[in-house]
Amino acid sequence: MKPLKALLVNPYIYDFAAYNFWSSPLGLLYIGSILRDNGFEIKLIDCMEVNEQKRKEDGRAPFIKEKVAKPVSLKGVKKYFRRYGISPQELQKRFLEADKPDLILITSIMTYWYPGTQEALKIARERFPGSKIIVGGIYPTLCDHLSVNTLREADLIVKGNEIGKLYSFIEDVFSLSLFKKPHMDNLDVLPFPCYDLYENIAFVPLLTSFGCAFKCTYCATPYMYPAITRRNPASVIDEIKFWRQKGVKKYVIYDDNFLYQKELYAKPLLKSIKKLPFKIDIYNPNAINAAFVNEEIAMLLADAGFREVRLGLESINPSTQKDTGGKVNLSSFEKALFFLKKAGFGNNIYAYILAGLPFQKWEEVKQTIDYVASSGAKPYLAEYTPIPHTTLFEKFYRYARYLIKEDAIYQNNALFPFAWEEFTEENMAFLKNYIKSEITSRNENHESKITINNEFPDLGKLTLNSRNGSES
């Protein structure tokens, strides 16, 4: 019997800004590998192509892009709107060139990118009316009611970890028994994601856990993954060796919880990476928790090949820290900085700062930027994204200036849904510029007001003139 054919599709997206910041359709590629293990012939159309000439040393690259007209729902927004990735016409062409697949699997990564998913679904449906089309990913997971309407052409919509639904559907429709049906939670038995379908593999994400021990009020991870699942360090090492043989040198940790229970997971993993007979580069776009960074961990991160470290700080305002979940405080941040600097990360420590939370005042963000810059770390603005099923979303969605609950397109942080009189779009623009110009030049001139190079800092005393509440 001829093998069944499955076509994986990572749709193009529409957004006001987007850049490949080590982004990759990892969930889709895992599903592809599982089906391949079951004898399916797998093909991939990844619409999110990048401009290879502009790829950075570290693996990041700009997506190819084109200005497009805004949909009616975004007409009033005074920003350019673009499609990132290949055009619908190019996608049609690639579908025309493809043999008729039995199964088409389409992913969706951010909720507000659903229009691209919707279009890819329509194009696939027109070209292959007889194929079964399944859509999964973050959008149906977080916006299940909305996705039922917007993705009507799909034969099946799969939420989060409902992989069992996918297996049953395939078995019913094709009257077969899949012989490998791993649960996604069992990270040690999953086949490695099918990155071999790409001509060039610029980096490979390493999925080392699902879930998180914290419950930050802006984050959907606790909803999507109520239980924490960890991956055995030995399995991660096997995967690194596997990709290294194929020439991959850069790895990106996709983990919300990398240092949690570090004695059992991160430490043995980092030690094993250090012992590998080859060197790799590691990046962590999802920040690590400063509270878990001690001297040994900082050294291990450096020795294992972390090229930079990104820490989540969010805010220096104790009440914002508390209201958003209390995962970090200034004393643990400063301690982490001290050890990371000692381990040699110097100019390569980034601190994420949350901007645009409901009823946040812009001065708080500026003070946090100043604090981070003076500490010698690089401030990095993370504009708040309202995400369904999070505490903040459910509490404040009525106060947003867009209908964020009715249409996921408005969940895009580029729209600044929670702008208000004490934090306007102009304030946000100022803060972005401030980081770019003033702070960058201050960092370049090494004008650090906080000196934490030689001695252990007197924790909690590394205050700035402008720190909220506790001026010193």
Site for ligand SF4, rule CB under 6 A: 212, 214-216, 219, 221-222, 256, 325, 327
Q: C-beta of 325: minimal distance to ligand SF4 in Å?
A: 5
Q: Which is nearer to ligand SF4, 14 or 292 (CB)?
A: 292
Query: Which of 123-131, 172-180, 213-221, 424-432 is the region at the interface with ligand B12 (rule: CB under 6 A)?
Result: 213-221
* Residues 55, 229: Cα–Cα separation, whole Å: 33
Q: How far is the CB of 256 from ligand B12 (least distance, A)?
A: 5
- Residue matched to tokens 């209390």: 326
Q: Which does 150 bind (CB under 5 to 8 A by kind): ligand SF4, ligand B12, none?
A: none
325 binds, among ligand B12, ligand SF4, none (CB under 5 to 8 A by kind): ligand SF4
DSSP code, position 353: E
Q: Judged by CB under 6 A, which of 32, 85, 160, 417 binds ligand B12?
A: 160
Spatial contact of 471 and 463, defined as CB atoms under 8 Å apart:
yes
Among the residue ranges 130-138, 270-278, 310-318, 438-446, the one whose residues contact ligand B12 (CB under 6 A)? 130-138
**Angle formed by the axes of helices 295-304 and 330-342, nearest 10°:** 50
CB of 186 to ligand B12, least distance (A): 11
Contacts of 133 (CB under 8 A, 6+ apart): 103, 104, 105, 106, 121, 124, 125, 153, 154, 155, 156
**Which of ligand SF4, ligand B12, none interacts with 184 (beta carbon under 5 to 8 A by kind)?**
ligand B12
Residues 6+ apart with CB under 8 A from 328: 289, 290, 291, 311, 312, 313, 314, 321
Whether the CA torsion 115, 253, 159, 386 is positive or negative: it is: negative
Indicate the pairing of strand 5-10 with strand 103-106. Answer: parallel
Q: Is 365 in the site for ligand B12 (CB under 6 A)?
A: no
- Pick from 219, 259, 282, 316: which binds ligand B12 (CB under 6 A)? 219
Q: Residue 134 binds which one of ligand B12, ligand SF4, none, with CB within 5 to 8 A depending on kind? A: ligand B12
Instruction: Select from 208, 385, 443, 468 the one that contacts ligand B12 (CB under 6 A).
Output: 385
Instruction: Say whether residue 367 binds ligand B12 (CB under 6 A).
Output: no
Which partner from the list ligand B12, ligand SF4, none does 369 bind, CB cut-off 5 to 8 Å by kind?
A: none
Distances (CA, A) of 357 to 361, 366, 415, 455: 9, 14, 13, 36
Question: Binding of ligand B12 at residue 411 (CB under 6 A)?
Answer: yes
Q: Which residues of 291-328 are buried (b: 16+ CB within 10 A; e: fewer)?
A: bbbeeebbbbbbebbbbbbbbbbbbbbeebbebbbebb
**How many angstroms separate the CA atoms of 408 and 396, rounded?**
15
For residue 298, give both structure tokens: 């900082």
How many angstroms separate the CA atoms of 390 and 204, rounded? 29
Record the tokens describing residue 139, joined without a space. Answer: 């959008």
Residue 168 or 294: which CB sits closer to ligand B12? 168
Beta strands in 172-213 (DSSP E): 204-207, 209-210
CA 18/CA 412 separation, integer angstroms: 11
**In terms of Cα–Cα distance, which of 320, 354, 410, 389 is closest to 160?**
389
Partner in contact with 157, chosen from ligand SF4, ligand B12, none, beta carbon below 5 to 8 Å by kind:
none
Please report whether residue 194 would count as binding ligand B12 according to CB under 6 A: no
Q: Is 353 in the site for ligand B12 (CB under 6 A)?
A: no
Q: How far is the CB of 257 from ligand B12 (least distance, A)?
A: 9
* Contacted by 327, from ligand B12, ligand SF4, none: CB < 5 to 8 Å by type: ligand SF4
CA distance 128 to 91: 13
Return the one option of ligand SF4, ligand B12, none that residue 382 interacts with (CB less than 5 to 8 A, by type). ligand B12
Closest contact distance (angstroms) between CB of 312 and ligand SF4 is 6
> Which option in ligand B12, ligand SF4, none does residue 40 bind, with CB closer than 5 to 8 A by kind?
none
Please identify, using beta-carbon distances, which residue of 182 and 211 lies nearer to ligand SF4: 211
Upper half-sphere CA count for residue 259 (Cβ side, 13 Å): 21
Q: Would you count residue 413 as binding ligand B12 (CB under 6 A)? A: yes
Which residues in this chain contact ligand B12 in the complex, by CB under 6 A? 18, 21-24, 26-28, 30-31, 105-107, 109-112, 134-138, 141, 158, 160-161, 163, 166, 184, 207, 219-221, 224, 254, 256, 285-286, 382-383, 385, 387, 411, 413
